[in-house]
Amino acid sequence: MGIAIFQRFRKSGLKGVFQSHFQNFFEERFPDYILEMIPITPDEVLDAFKNGVIKSVQLISHSLTSDLADYYSTEDDKRGRVILGFEKGRFHGKFIDNFIKIVKHEMPISKIIESEWMSPDEIKTEVEIKGTQKTFTLKEEGSEITPGIDISKKVSYGNDGFPTQESVNREALKYLEILKSHLRGRNEH
């Protein structure tokens, strides 16, 4: 078992590129083995999600209903995105309850909202937890939520405008300790 923590700068990330290349590398050298890469979400992160303040929710559908799809000219345009914003209240609590049900595989993503015109395949939720913005992504095929942790205010930047490797490594090591603790707890059960 190994742990990989990926950096994202602005909208650019490395996970997809790494996963594709590493999968090919692994299959060439170890054809009798299967490589599985799954996201790990510590219980502490899920608890923080429950106690955080939801800033926005993006519901993403990879295909729209036929009546909406008719408005688009090409196949590439038939992806839908709805962005929700709401105050704490009844819907806020219901959304969190449903989100947790999806994480626990008690409910499909498509049931997060009742809608005739959109059935989401993916949910991106921005949550403020103790003053830090975190983005949680949940996909239908994923077994766990993938938290994106914003460390932009905790790192130092070089003359080139990019975070310094030393400061990124420092923050990654902090998160690694949380992940290791989570994995130890899983193995004890």
Residue with tokens 């309850």: 97
- Count other Cβ atoms within 10 Å, centred on residue 51: 10
Per-residue pLDDT tens digits for 51-87? 777 788 887 777 655 555 555 545 555 566 666 666 6
Q: What is the pTM of this model?
A: 0.53
pLDDT of the residue at 143: 45
Beta strands, E only, the chain: 8-9, 12-13, 53-61, 80-84, 122-129, 132-139, 146-149
Mean pLDDT of 182-188: 62
